[in-house]
Amino acid sequence: MIGTEFVPLSLPPLLIGTLAALACALPGNFLVLRRQALIGDAISHVVLPGIVVAFLLTGRVSTWPMMLGAGGAALLAVLMIEVIRRAGKIEPGAAMGVVFTTLFAAGVLLLEQSDTSAVHLDVQHALYGNLESLIWLDALGWNSLLDPVALAGLPTELPRMALVLVGVIGFIWLFWRPLALSTFDEGFARSLGIATGPLGLGLVVIAAMAAVAAFDAVGSIIVIAMFICPPAAARLMTNRLSLQVAWSQGFAGLAAVSGYVLAGYGPLWLGYAHAVSAAGMIATVSGLILALAALFGPCRARLGQPAG
Amino acid sequence: MTQLKLAAQEGAAPVEDLSDIPLAIRGLTVSYGSDPAVFSVDMTVPEGAMLAVIGPNGAGKSTLLKAALGVIPKLSGLVTVYGQPIASQRRRIAYVPQRASVDWDFPTRVIDVVLMGLYRDLGLLGRVRRSHRDQARACLARVGMEGFADRQIGQLSGGQQQRVFLARALAQAADLYLLDEPFAGVDAATEKAIVTVLKALRDEGRTVVCVHHDLATVTDYFSHVFLLNRRKIAAGPVAKVFTQQMLQAAYGGRLSGGQIDRIAAS
Ligand SMILES: Nc1ncnc2c1ncn2[C@@H]1O[C@H](COP(=O)(O)OP(=O)(O)OP(=O)(O)O)[C@@H](O)[C@H]1O
Ligand SMILES: [Mg+2]
């Protein structure tokens, strides 16, 4: 591929998409095993009121206030889910449903009531993000990767997504053992003195962080797909947690890269003039991987039903 | 560390010295909703005892163990382990939950489950060394499961899963063992293997508490019983407490007269 075209136009979105996929799939492993996978979906929607409030407060579209607003809304949602679940003694799924619809509705109402019509806050953006628009105009070719002046012009999404991925990896690495233990056998974990409540909350907050950052860069469709598809497919490939996580990262990277390439060139190969949405294609590929794993994965047989 | 002493219930009574008592519970009340599942229970487990917690389904046996360990919150009550607050004594306790409470589909192997028993030694980031693995394998061998180390846990039978849980508890090398229905759904051979291990623990001077359902084996297996039906019904050595009258009180009308006669006579 020619560097003068690839580096400014394709490299940044490719990297950002891959980082986002990895950052979501990693905590997704534990969320899927804890049957909390839809929390990523919920989070990526409840951030809407946060983004609108941030816009209303600052009066302009700028990334950091919106990220903060989105993060605040995600945290609020997590806390509301926990409070409702404990106070109402209802199952997590139902609590999530309540919070999810309430906050999303609040976001839509806010959006309608306020004068944000001039701003680019639409469904299209929320679903698919703007992966293709994350280009690096300062780059002239591969050499630009070593040029500090050009590097300063990188899309801010790239370092931010990388930072979030580092945070996610750090959390999972540090708390790997208690996370695995409390996911498998919470009663035993608590008898060892592990604070399973704060730990589970930490996991959800980390997942929310990844979801919000990815949502901003690549849209909610990737967030939902990456929280669920690579971990679920990886579970069908192995019976060991560490290998499952490794597989899930491989699948996430594969989906991001091949999805991006297919979206850009696939239609051309088929004789169509226009590329399709990269985010949509990445999500589609991850779904395809899950389907293949479900058909051919070596660990499909689930014998683990409680025998008692 | 200061000795934690519990005032007896009336408050005015003399302070108990519990430093030799592996597990002491005073006035424990636990509630999931409106009615308490366990109400104002006092329990004293003597050192070296093999104690059976007995009561009908829903009597609060699992709740009692879990609340004593801090696995679930309690409304009121005090718990000491060797006279100290439980938080400082976790290393000396091994807990085996009821088998159905666990996700057996979890991607992990038998050996990894046993290694979980070494969590307090390994800590957050400690590397699993060969010595740890050898220790875990030795525990598996004690329950006759050494050939299954690399199996996924979901691919075991119920009795084998129960043995693996026991091996994990052995790896903890605790002084006080709390087991919730270790004999539920296991065949005669596994039951015998588990009893042998538990008796060996007792012979080493450790203390064993089991939630137990099979009244017919209580006198064979245990030295003490604790009869529970939301409240404490009776507690003490088997010979004194395991009587027709006490069982009738614990189980209400749930046992037939013949059943009780047979058990109490044996
Ligand atoms: N998580 C829970 N939420 C609400 N109620 C519960 C919960 N766990 C137990 N209970 C209730 O508390 C009571 C005591 O339950 P527990 O599990 O302690 O009984 P048990 O003696 O262990 O019974 P079994 O012999 O069936 O194991 C029961 O009435 C049960 O319905
Ligand atoms: Mg029980």
B71 CA distance to ligand 1 middle (Å): 14
* pLDDT recorded at residue B200: 95
pLDDT of residue B203: 94
SS3 readout for B219-250: HHHCCEEEEEECEEEEEEEHHHHCCHHHHHHH
> What's the rounded mean pLDDT across residues A78-84?
82
A149-153, B41-45, B148-152, B234-238: range with lowest mean pLDDT:
A149-153
Is residue A298 classed as helix, strand or coil in its secondary structure? coil
Q: What is the pLDDT of residue B31?
A: 92
Q: What is the pLDDT of residue A302?
A: 56
- Please give the average per-residue pLDDT across B217-227, as a whole number: 93
State the pLDDT at residue A212: 79
Q: Whose CA is nearest to atom 18 of ligand 1?
A: B60
Q: Which residue has the higher pLDDT, B3 or B129?
A: B129
pLDDT: which is higher, B67 or A95: B67
Question: Band of the pLDDT at B263, cuts 50, 70, 90?
Answer: low
Residue B6 has pLDDT above 60, yes or no: no
- Cα–Cα distance measured from residue B96 to residue B176, given in angstroms and rounded to the nearest whole number: 11
The whole-angstrom separation of Cα B147 and Cα A98 is 49
Residue type for position B170: L
Tokens of A57: 């407060």
- Tell me which of A269-278, B35-44, B254-263 is least confident: B254-263
| Rounded Cα distance, A256 and B209, in Å | 53
pLDDT at B162: 94
pLDDT band at B12 (very low <50, low <70, confident <90, very high): very low
When the pLDDT of each residue in chain B is averaged and rounded to a whole number, the result is 88
What's the gap in Å between B4 CA and the centre of ligand 1? 30
Distance from the Cα of residue A145 to its chain's centroid: 26
Whether residues B33 and A181 touch (CB distance < 8 A) is answered with: no
What integer is the mean pLDDT of B99-104?
A: 88
pLDDT at B7 over 50: no
User: Has residue B10 got a pLDDT over 60?
Assistant: no
CB A207 within 8 A of CB A37: no
What are the pocket residues of ligand 1 if the criterion is a CB atom closer than 6 Å to any ligand atom?
A: B 32, 37, 55, 57-63
In chain A, which residues touch B (CB < 8 A)?
A: 33, 89, 174-175, 177-178, 180-181, 183-188, 190-194, 235, 238-241, 243-244, 299, 302-308
pLDDT score of B76:
93
**A121-178 residue pLDDT tens:** 555 565 666 777 788 878 777 778 888 888 888 888 889 899 999 999 999 999 999 9
pLDDT at residue A208 in the model = 81
pLDDT, tens digit (0-9, with 9 covering 90-100), for B153-198: 999 999 999 999 999 999 999 999 999 999 988 889 899 999 999 9
Specify which of A106-110, A245-249, B150-154, B254-258 reaches the highest per-range mean pLDDT.
A245-249
- Look at residue A118 and tell me whether its pLDDT is greater than 90: no
Mean pLDDT of B215-237: 92
Buried b (16+ CB within 10 A) or exposed e, A262-278: bbbeeeeeeeeeeeebb
Q: What is the pLDDT of residues B57-74, one digit of tens each?
A: 999 999 999 999 999 999
Helix boundaries (H) for B123-235? 130-142, 158-171, 188-203, 218-221
SS3 letters across A84-130: HHHHHCCCHHHHHHHHHHHHHHHHHHHHHHCCCCCCCCCHHHHHHCC
Residue B148 and residue B156 in contact, taking contact as beta carbons nearer than 8 Å: yes
Instruction: Give the residue, by CA position, lying nearest to ligand 1 atom 28.
Output: B58
The residue that leads in pLDDT, A81 or A245, is: A245
The per-residue pLDDT for B177 is 97
Average pLDDT over residues A93-98: 80
**Of B232, B262, B227, whose CA–CA distance to B246 is shortest?**
B227
Residue A92 has pLDDT above 90, yes or no: no
Q: Give ipTM to 2 decimals.
A: 0.89
Residue B154 sits at the chain A interface (C-beta within 8 Å):
yes
Q: pLDDT over 90 for what percent of chain A? A: 33
User: Can you list the pairs that A293-297 forms with residues at least 24 positions away whose Cβ atoms lie under 8 Å?
Assistant: A293/A232, A293/A233, A293/A234, A293/A236, A293/A237, A294/A233, A294/A236, A297/A233, A297/A236, A297/A237
Contact B99 A33 (CB under 8 A): no
pLDDT at B15 over 70: no
Please state the atom number of ligand 1 nearest to the C-alpha of residue B60: 18
pLDDT for the residue numbered A61: 62
Residue A143 pLDDT: 79
Which pLDDT does position A117 carry in this prediction? 55
Q: What is the pLDDT of residue B1?
A: 42
Task: Write down the pTM of the prediction.
Answer: 0.86
In terms of pLDDT, which residue wins out, B33 or A16? A16
- CA dist B18 and A223 (Å) reads 55
* Nearest neighbour of B106 by CB, restricted to A183, A192, A193: A183
Specify the CATH superfamily of domain A2-215: ABC transporter involved in vitamin B12 uptake, BtuC (1.10.3470.10)
- Residues within 5 Å of ion ligand 2 by Cβ? B 62
